[in-house]
């Protein structure tokens, strides 16, 4: 049986892994340094992470070189799937990241600004390479809207409709990040994760809000997510990836135990 | 020397690094010139079946790969490099003919049953535990998959492993000197490196 994946996410700023306290705060400069990205990647590799996401939070030209170097060094030593996101705007950007050793590229605001980018990437590299990441916020009892710019700008899209469109254009995976839940440690947004998961035929990765191990069980079971992504709970040493896997296995969720 | 056929597949670097870590002396080979002198050949692959076949044709690696297989020296196909060994693909708009080393075609997972692509770690059950590249690995181990299509071999005797994802499909084949896996050993951590080490040791 296909295992549910546990994915540590590394936000990279100036060659260091950082973590904002709440959504958008990292972009605004309120950061806590948590370490060297390659060292952390190797540690999560040892702990049995199923995949790793590197997110370039500054996405400047200078930072681009840094993130390529990080991907190359991590990929040369980790032998596990790597995804890279942040500042990918063109098919050439995608090609650079894939050649550096990334298996998937994650696009967010550039896909909203230029939806054909999803199709171009999928045609060139295959759908399995193209991840569309969506920052969603609940704006009404039954409504979730898409936001950009660290949650400050409404994109004019309904989150479920946008997920469906992204998949129709060729996205092979959706990462759903709840703006409301991110950084709160109060749990993933199960409702929107569930709705998107039942509306698209590709895997859905839940992101934002993990505070304890039961939150992961809940979003995988009730939210029907295919994978969980988390940052803080791993970086600050509260739980190891192995702790998560053990807990999920006890809850009868299929996982790969290393 | 292991010739790693470089026809523009995105993950060539990952395969190169993993084979090196497995003890191989790897050379990226973008044209047929050095293929015949190689001790082993690896055909990697990510992306679409037709892109793979067409790029191999353009770079004259298609015939070189077929000729190498008939020398009896070790050959390993990975992912689309596994699918390319079959006759044809049912991938959208596909019209390219595969290498035809094995009989059968490449088909898509049933969308109604499971999420497509299959992305993640799935269990690989050994049908042929004596397969040389599976030594030192337990049947049922998790390997990393990322694909929407899989080959259906006509010849049951080549089936080395099976995996369940909506359907029970053939996740690796083996016949004589030819090995091929739908999963990515270069991305499968310890068990993947063990498989590649086994392959390197065949030289």
Q: What is the 3-state secondary structure (H, E, C) of A136-193?
A: EEEEECCEEEEEECCCCEEEEEEHHHHHHHHHHHCCCEEEEEECCCCCCCCCCCHHHH
What band does A60 get if pLDDT is binned at 50, 70 and 90? low
Q: Would you say residue A31 has pLDDT above 60?
A: no
Task: Locate A227 and state its tokens.
Answer: 């994978």
What band does B138 get if pLDDT is binned at 50, 70 and 90? very high
Region of poorest pLDDT, from A245-254, B1-10, B97-106: B1-10
Average pLDDT, chain A: 90
Query: Buried b / exposed e across B157-194, counting CB within 10 Å, b at 16+?
Result: ebbbbebebeeebbbbbbbebbbbbbbbbbbbbebbbb
What is the SS3 assignment for B176? Answer: coil
- Structural domains of chain A, with CATH: 5-250 (3.20.20.70)
Cβ separation of B142 and A3 shorter than 8 Å? yes
By residue count, chain B amounts to 203
Average pLDDT, chain B: 94
Q: Would you say residue B36 has pLDDT above 60?
A: yes
Instruction: Give the Cα separation of A247 and A228 in Å (integer).
Output: 13
Q: How far from chain centre, in Å, is Cα A241? A: 16
CB-facing half-sphere around the CA of B145: CA atoms within 13 A: 32
Q: What pLDDT score was predicted for residue B10?
A: 67
What dihedral angle (degrees, nearest 10) is formed by the CA atoms of B12, B14, B20, B23? -110
Are the C-beta atoms of A190 and A181 separated by less than 8 Å?
Answer: no
Please report, rounded to a whole number, the percentage of residues in chain A having pLDDT higher than 90. Answer: 71
> Taking CB atoms and an 8 Å cutoff, what residues of chain A touch B116?
201-202
Q: At what angle do helices A61-78 and B12-21 cross, to 10 degrees?
A: 40
> Taking CB atoms and an 8 Å cutoff, what residues of chain A touch B192?
79
Please report, rounded to a whole number, the percentage of residues in chain B having pLDDT higher than 90. Answer: 84
Shortest CA distance from B143: residue in chain A: A256
Are the C-beta atoms of B44 and A101 separated by less than 8 Å?
Answer: no
Instruction: Give the Cα separation of B164 and B95 in Å (integer).
Output: 28
What band does B163 get if pLDDT is binned at 50, 70 and 90? very high
φ, ψ (nearest 5 deg) of residue A242: -65, -40
Please work out, in degrees rounded to the nearest 5, the angle formed at the alpha carbon of residue B91 by the alpha carbons of B89 and B97: 30
Taking residues A16-38, what's their average pLDDT?
64
What is the SS3 assignment for A121? Answer: helix
What is the SS3 assignment for B120? Answer: strand
CA distance A207 to chain B (A): 17
Residue A240 CB neighbours (<10 A): 18
> Taking CB atoms and an 8 Å cutoff, what residues of chain B touch A124?
47
Instruction: Give the Cα separation of B71 and B203 in Å (integer).
Output: 13
Q: Would you say residue A71 has pLDDT above 80?
A: yes
Per-residue pLDDT tens over the stretch A80-139: 999 999 989 999 999 999 989 999 999 999 999 999 999 999 988 889 999 999 999 999
State how far the alpha carbon of B99 is from the alpha carbons of A1, A134, B29, B54, B86, in Å: 31, 40, 18, 11, 6
> Considering CB atoms only, which of B17, B144, B145 is closest to A75?
B17
A to B CB pairs, distance under 8 Å: 101
Shortest CA distance from B147: residue in chain A: A128
- Burial label for B117, CB within 10 Å (0-12, 13-18, 19+), is buried
Per-residue pLDDT tens over the stretch A164-209: 999 999 999 999 999 988 878 889 999 999 999 999 999 999 999 9
Q: Give the largest CA-CA distance in chain B.
A: 47
Instruction: Give the Cα separation of B163 and B170 in Å (integer).
Output: 6
Per-residue pLDDT tens over the stretch B40-98: 999 998 777 888 899 999 999 999 999 999 999 999 999 999 999 999 988 767 778 99
Q: What pLDDT score was predicted for residue B90?
A: 85
Q: Would you say residue A19 has pLDDT above 70?
A: no
Taking residues B172-196, what's their average pLDDT?
97
Instruction: Give the Cα separation of A51 and A229 in Å (integer).
Output: 9
What is the SS3 assignment for A225? Answer: coil
Mode of pairing for the β-strands spanning B26-29 and B2-5: parallel
> Considering CB atoms only, which of A2, A78, A80 is closest to B165?
A2
- Structural domains of chain B, with CATH: 2-200 (3.40.50.880)
Please report, rounded to a whole number, the percentage of residues in chain A having pLDDT higher than 70. Answer: 92
Q: At what angle do helices A190-199 and A213-221 cross, to 10 degrees?
A: 30
Residue A152 CB neighbours (<10 A): 12
> Taking CB atoms and an 8 Å cutoff, what residues of chain A touch B144?
80-81
What band does A15 get if pLDDT is binned at 50, 70 and 90? confident
Shortest CA distance from A75: residue in chain B: B14
Task: Locate A16 and state its tokens.
Answer: 């260091």
Instruction: Spot the catalytic one: A103, A135, A189, A226.
Output: A135
Q: What pLDDT score was predicted for residue B73?
A: 98
Are the C-beta atoms of A225 and A178 separated by less than 8 Å?
Answer: no
Q: Would you say residue A245 has pLDDT above 90?
A: yes
Q: What pLDDT score was predicted for residue A30?
A: 53
Element (H, E) at B169: strand B167-175
Instruction: Give the Cα separation of A148 and B66 in Å (integer).
Output: 50
């Amino acid at each position: 049986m296909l295992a549910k994946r546990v994915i540590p996410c590394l936000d990279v700023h100036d060659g260091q892994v950082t973590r904002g306290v709440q959504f958008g705060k990292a972009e605004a400069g309120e950061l806590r340094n948590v370490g060297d990205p390659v060292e952390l990647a190797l540690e999560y590799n040892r702990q049995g992470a199923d995949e790793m996401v590197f997110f370039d939070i500054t996405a400047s030209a200078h930072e681009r070189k840094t993130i390529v170097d990080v991907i190359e060094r991590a990929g040369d030593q980790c032998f596990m799937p790597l995804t890279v996101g942040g500042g990918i705007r063109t098919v050439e950007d995608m090609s650079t990241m894939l050649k550096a050793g990334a298996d998937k590229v994650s696009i967010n605001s550039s896909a909203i600004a230029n939806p054909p980018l999803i199709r171009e990437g999928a045609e060139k590299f295959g759908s399995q390479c193209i991840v569309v990441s969506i920052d969603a916020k609940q704006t009404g009892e039954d409504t979730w809207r898409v936001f950009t710019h660290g949650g400050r700008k409404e994109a004019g899209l309904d989150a479920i409709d946008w997920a469906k469109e992204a998949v129709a254009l060729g996205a092979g995976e959706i990462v759903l990040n709840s703006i409301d839940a991110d950084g709160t440690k109060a749990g993933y947004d199960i409702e929107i994760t569930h709705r998107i998961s039942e509306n698209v035929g590709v895997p859905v990765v839940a992101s934002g809000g993990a505070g304890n191990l039961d939150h992961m069980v809940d979003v995988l079971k009730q939210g029907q997510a295919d994978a969980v992504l988390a940052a803080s709970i791993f970086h600050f040493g509260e739980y190891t990836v192995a702790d998560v896997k053990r807990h999920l296995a006890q809850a009868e969720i299929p996982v790969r135990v290393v | 020397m292991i010739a790693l056929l470089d026809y523009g597949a995105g993950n060539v670097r990952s395969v190169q690094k993993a084979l090196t870590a497995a003890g191989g002396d790897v050379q990226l080979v973008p044209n047929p010139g050095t293929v015949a002198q190689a001790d082993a050949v690896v055909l990697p692959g990510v992306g679409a079946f037709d892109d793979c076949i067409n790029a191999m044709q353009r770079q004259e690696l298609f015939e070189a790969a077929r000729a190498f297989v008939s020398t009896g020296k070790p050959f390993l196909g990975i992912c689309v490099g596994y699918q390319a060994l079959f006759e044809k693909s049912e991938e959208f708009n596909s019209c390219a003919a595969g290498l035809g080393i094995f009989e059968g075609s490449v088909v898509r997972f049933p969308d109604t049953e499971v999420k497509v692509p299959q992305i993640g770690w799935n269990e690989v059950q050994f049908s042929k535990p004596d397969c040389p590249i599976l030594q030192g690995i337990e049947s049922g181990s998790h390997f990393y998959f990322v694909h929407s299509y899989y080959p259906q071999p006509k010849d049951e005797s080549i089936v080395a492993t099976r995996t369940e994802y909506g359907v029970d499909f053939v996740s690796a084949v083996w016949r004589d000197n030819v090995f091929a896996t739908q999963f990515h050993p270069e991305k499968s951590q310890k068990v993947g490196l063990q498989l590649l080490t086994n392959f390197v040791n065949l030289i």
